[in-house]
Amino acid sequence: MFRILSKEKLSANIFCMVVEAPRVAANAMPGQFLIVRVDEDGERIPLTICDYDKEKGTVEIVFQPIGSETLRMSLLEAGDSFHDVVGPLGRPSELTEKDPEELKKMKIVYVAGGVGTAPVYPQLKWLKEHGVLADAIEGAKSKDIVIMEDKMKSVAGNLYVTTDDGSYGRSGMVTKVIQDLYDEGKRYDLCVAIGPMIMMKFVCKLTKQLGIPTIVSMNPIMVDGTGMCGACRLIVGNEVKFACVDGPEFDGHEVDFDQAMQRMKLYKTEEGRAMLEAQEAETHHGGCGMCQ
């Protein structure tokens, strides 16, 4: 059992929990995710790791209830426990594999949309711990669902908060802020975008025009988290990839977002899953990622 040490309501429908999971915390890196189960009969829920403390043996998760299982999660309180916490899964952010001295020479901007702010935070934190300050753009529909602003400010070089309705910070979507910063003379060597699929698609469309290499995290399409279910199958540069074992990060300019979004819609129904399995044949499942 994995005890919940604390629970915080970040907005009307977004929650943060600190969970006791020593082995996960000991091996976690920015960009990775874990899978939780509320109880023995519960569904597997993939969640990105928002933060981790190797000394205390804890991991922090941020989630938004969007179905029955995540709703059950939201009803748990400090002192309750998860039946399972499995991880860390997926590959760490590719920036963690680069020489920090080389990263210091780069101008990097992170784009976080909604709950995508949670997985952006540990990457910014890791960079700052290694002497690298990256800018960040945090977007939300309105002021009441802007999350983790103070924590983001503490690790970003500059934080630009924007809301779709103009109720807080800058006005407009994150793509408008990217364009505005470019027009103001800001030049970036790399963009990392994490958030809703549609947001990442249009960020990549713009950054391609502006000539900014872009990494995206394909966490939004995960279900099983081990490659067995085939849910996170996507096309990257005309190759079949699986977000959970090959990613979750990919070259955003190579991702076929239209195919991924259409596939997500089909995968939600039993009939759609059967059709995809028939169409995709042996490429439908990614396997566990360990055996060839």
**Predicted local distance difference test score (pLDDT) of residue 30:** 95
Cα–Cα distance list, 282 to 22, 129, 163, 235, 242 (Å): 37, 43, 43, 15, 13
| CATH number (domain holding residue 6) | 2.40.30.10
Residue with more model confidence, 285 or 213? 213
Q: Are residues 66 and 98 in the same domain?
A: no
Is residue 233 scored above 90 in pLDDT? Answer: no
Q: Are 193 and 205 in contact (CB under 8 A)?
A: no
pLDDT of residue 104: 95
Looking at 42, 73, 89, which one is the last position of a domain? 89
In a domain, 254, yes or no: no
Q: Are residues 103 and 208 in the same domain?
A: yes
Please report the pLDDT score of residue 26 as a whole number: 96
Domain boundary among 63, 89, 115: 89
Flag the least confident range among 55-59, 166-170, 173-177, 271-275: 271-275
Is residue 72 included in any domain, yes or no?
yes
Most confidently modeled range among 29-43, 151-165, 228-242: 151-165
> For residue range 189-231, what is the model confidence (pLDDT) as tens digits?
999 999 998 999 999 999 999 999 999 998 755 555 555 556 6
Same domain for 47 and 156, yes or no, is: no
Indicate if the pLDDT at residue 279 is higher than 70: no
State the total domains in the chain.
2
264 by Cβ neighbours in 10 Å (0-12 / 13-18 / 19+) ranks as middle
Are residue 99 and residue 211 in the same domain, yes or no?
yes
> Given this model, what pLDDT does residue 80 score?
96
8 A C-beta contact, residue 119 and residue 200: no
**Are 102 and 85 members of one domain?**
no
- Residues with Cβ within 8 Å of 185's Cβ and at least 6 positions away in sequence, in order, are none
The tens digit of pLDDT for each residue in 6-15 reads 999 998 889 9
**Which pLDDT score, from 0 to 100, does residue 252 have?**
93
Q: Is the pLDDT score of 94 beyond 60?
A: yes
**Last residue of some domain: 89, 108, 128?**
89
**Domain membership flag for residue 266:** no
102 and 164 both lie in a single domain: yes
Place of tokens 């408008």: 176
- pTM confidence score: 0.86
**Same domain for 105 and 84?**
no
User: Which CATH number belongs to the domain containing residue 153 in this structure?
Assistant: 3.40.50.80
| Mean per-residue pLDDT over the chain, rounded | 87
Same domain, 147 and 110: yes
Clarify whether residues 127 and 18 are in a common domain. no
- The confidence score (pLDDT) of residue 288 equals 45
What would the two tokens of residue 252 be? 């955003």
85 with 129, same domain?
no
Residues 112 and 51 in one domain: no
| Domain residue limits at 105 | 94-217
- The torsion angles phi and psi of 50, rounded to 5 degrees, stand at -80, -35
**Phi-psi sector, 140: left (phi>0), alpha (psi -120 to 50), beta:** beta
Residue 246: its pLDDT value, please?
80
Q: How many CA atoms lie within 13 A of 21 on its CB side?
A: 26
Q: Is the pLDDT reported for residue 153 higher than 50? A: yes
The pLDDT of residue 271 is above 60: no
Burial of 203 (0-12, 13-18, 19+ CB in 10 A): buried
More confident residue, 273 or 93: 93
Task: State the average pLDDT over residues 132-149.
Answer: 95
pLDDT at residue number 238: 84
59 and 114: one domain? Answer: no
